[in-house]
């Protein structure tokens, strides 16, 4: 579910960076002046029509055997190609085909990635066709004349590139949401399940899960289908002889792994135990959306402050899932049970939410204006160049920075908080990847 990648390659000075800058969103794009052949690949977000993708510049390809860095350069180009959906091979239309171009072409023909042969520096349309035609000899199909400087031809090139990107995943609105109900024995998981099933008469049918011993229950409510995962374990439990101390954490872990949203059920009378903390840690590690359901609320003596105080206490003891909303329910009386599914809907939506690069960069800019990144004693300061969401479920944001280690945990948490404050992400963890660009 990550963004597709378009790789740009070619020998030095053909205009690769000029083309990358034209394709990529220029705002916040990283410009490298160092001529170093060892430089890292640079990823830049780009859009064309309705598609978002990353453009990766492989650095200048040199196939001269005298080059000290030859294996390294090739390795980098290979790495870039391995993850790319399509490669743009840039050549210089004013110079015509060179030996180096032929060498790269020979090598590219052995790779499996589709290649778009791009003849740069074709400023005039008439000459451009003739300039481009010289490159049929490379055996890479039709050459596309473009001018990186003026932009001619780049639209056609991008149209062609889009054809090679993997189809955009489109999740139908009514797709089912997989929900795991986990928690210690006796917190009320089966009572909750019965409450869901009871209030939502439209049970489709119990459906066998992927493993032999697990059974899912499918429930429908207001056009949305919910698959309640591995509920056999919950229902059968009563007939099996094991004490309340027995806690099948493996079963819970398996259910968490299969879920989109986890309902983590607590017993209001017991509060948060160590086992609950372990489950919360796993939910966060697996990147699942989560709602904390405090059950048996009917059995708690309360005044006007109880909910607030109780909530604060739970949050402070479940730090791994501090982003998860809390709901106080009673499976026995049915109080607020229906509301749980509303929270599930929101969390599932946020879990697969995609935020555009421009919005992410607005948040980053705003965050940086309030608090600049820390400066070390040596006077070195972290710098965030830009960010882009690279995948969903959970939302994962890559931040391209000068040096990741200049950002301490405090600042990282601050940035995450800014994303949550500006963009919500209720009920889903978000992941941040700090990538050094050096």
Q: Put the strands of the sheet holding 431-436 in their side by side order.
A: 384-391, 396-401, 431-436
Among 58, 154, 217, 330, which residue sits at the site for ligand GDP (rule: CB under 6 A)?
A: 330
- The residue among 85 and 120 lying less far from ligand GDP, judged by its C-beta, is 120
Q: What is the dihedral of CA 285, 286, 291, 295, to 10 degrees?
A: -80
Among 2, 99, 124, 186, which residue sits at the site for ligand GDP (rule: CB under 6 A)?
A: 186
State residue 144 phi and psi, 5-degree precision.
-100, 115
- The residue among 337 and 364 lying less far from ligand GDP, judged by its C-beta, is 337
272: annotated binding-site residue?
Answer: no
Take residue 205 and report the two structure tokens written for it: 């049918």
Q: Which residues contact 357 (CB under 8 A, 6 or more apart)?
A: 25, 45, 47, 52, 386, 387, 388, 389
- The residue among 140 and 187 lying less far from ligand GDP, judged by its C-beta, is 187
- Pairing between β-strand 289-295 and β-strand 86-92 as defined by DSSP bridges: unpaired
CB contact at 8 A, 264 and 321: yes
Q: Supply the minimum distance, in Å, between the C-beta of residue 388 and ligand GDP.
A: 22
143 binds ligand GDP (CB under 6 A): no
Segment 50 to 79, residues that bind ligand GDP, using CB under 6 A: 60
What does the H/E/C string look like for 55-119? EEECCCCCCCCCCCCHHHHHHHHHHHHHHCCEEEEEEECCCCCCHHHHHHHHHHHCCCCCEEEEE
Q: From residue 2 to residue 41, what is the string marking binding to ligand GDP with x (rule CB under 6 A)? A: --------x-xxxxxxx-----------------------
Closest CA to 154 of 316, 347, 23: 23
Among 286, 332, 342, 403, which residue sits at the site for ligand GDP (rule: CB under 6 A)?
A: 332
14: annotated binding-site residue?
Answer: yes
Q: Supply the minimum distance, in Å, between the C-beta of residue 238 and ligand GDP.
A: 7
CB contact at 8 A, 358 and 25: yes
- The residue among 7 and 234 lying less far from ligand GDP, judged by its C-beta, is 234
CB burial of 353-378 (b: ≥16 within 10 Å; e: otherwise) equals bebebeebbebbeebeeeeebeeeee
Among 178, 254, 282, 296, which residue sits at the site for ligand GDP (rule: CB under 6 A)?
A: 296
58: annotated binding-site residue?
Answer: yes
Among 40, 83, 103, 298, which residue sits at the site for ligand GDP (rule: CB under 6 A)?
A: 298
- The residue among 264 and 367 lying less far from ligand GDP, judged by its C-beta, is 264
Options 119-127, 271-279, 361-369, 403-411: segment touching ligand GDP (CB under 6 A): 119-127
85: annotated binding-site residue?
Answer: no
296: annotated binding-site residue?
Answer: yes
Closest CA to 135 of 14, 261, 281, 262: 14
232: annotated binding-site residue?
Answer: yes
Residues written for the chain: 438
120 binds ligand GDP (CB under 6 A): yes
Contacting residues toward ligand GDP, per CB under 6 A: 10, 12-18, 60, 120-121, 123, 147-149, 183, 185-191, 234, 295-296, 298-299, 330-332
């Amino acid at each position: 579910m990550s963004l597709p990648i378009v790789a740009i390659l070619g020998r030095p000075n053909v205009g690769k960076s000029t083309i990358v800058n034209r394709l990529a969103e220029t705002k916040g794009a990283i410009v490298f002046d160092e001529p170093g052949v060892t430089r890292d690949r640079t990823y830049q977000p780009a859009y064309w029509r309705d598609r978002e993708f990353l453009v990766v510049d492989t650095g200048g390809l040199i196939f001269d055997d005298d080059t000290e860095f030859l294996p390294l350069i090739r390795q980098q180009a290979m790495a870039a190609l391995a993850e790319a959906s399509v490669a743009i091979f840039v050549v210089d239309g004013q110079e015509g085909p060179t030996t180096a171009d032929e060498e790269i072409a020979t090598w590219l023909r052995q790779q499996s990635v589709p290649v778009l042969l791009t003849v740069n520096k074709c400023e005039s349309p008439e000459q451009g066709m003739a300039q481009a035609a010289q490159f049929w000899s490379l055996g890479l199909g039709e050459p596309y004349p473009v001018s990186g400087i003026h932009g001619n031809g780049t639209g056609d090139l991008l149209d062609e590139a889009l054809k090679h990107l993997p189809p955009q995943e489109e999740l139908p609105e009514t797709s089912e949401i997989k929900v795991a109900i986990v928690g210690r024995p006796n917190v009320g998981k089966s009572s909750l399940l019965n409450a869901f099933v009871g209030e939502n008469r439209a049970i489709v049918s119990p459906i066998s899960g992927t493993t032999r011993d697990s059974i899912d229950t499918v429930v429908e409510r207001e056009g949305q289908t919910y698959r309640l995962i591995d509920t056999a374990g919950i229902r059968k439990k009563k007939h099996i002889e094991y004490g309340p101390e027995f806690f099948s954490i493996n079963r819970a872990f398996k259910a968490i792994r299969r879920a989109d949203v986890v309902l983590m059920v607590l017993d209001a009378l017991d509060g948060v135990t160590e086992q609950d903390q372990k489950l919360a840690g796993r939910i966060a590690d697996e990147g699942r959306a989560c709602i904390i359901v405090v059950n048996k609320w009917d059995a708690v003596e309360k005044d006007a402050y109880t909910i607030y105080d109780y909530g604060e206490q739970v949050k402070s003891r479940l730090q791994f899932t501090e982003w998860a909303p809390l709901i106080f329910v009673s499976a026995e009386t049915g109080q607020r049970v229906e509301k749980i599914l509303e929270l599930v809907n929101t969390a599932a939506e946020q879990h697969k939410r995609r935020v555009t690069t421009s919005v992410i960069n607005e948040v980053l800019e705003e965050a940086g204006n309030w608090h600049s990144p820390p400066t070390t004693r040596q006077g070195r300061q972290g710098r965030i160049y830009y960010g882009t969401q690279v995948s969903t479920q959970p939302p994962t944001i890559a931040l391209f920075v000068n040096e990741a280690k200049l950002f301490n945990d405090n600042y990282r948490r601050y940035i995450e908080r800014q994303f949550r404050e500006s963009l919500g992400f209720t009920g889903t963890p978000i992941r941040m990847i700090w990538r050094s660009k050096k």
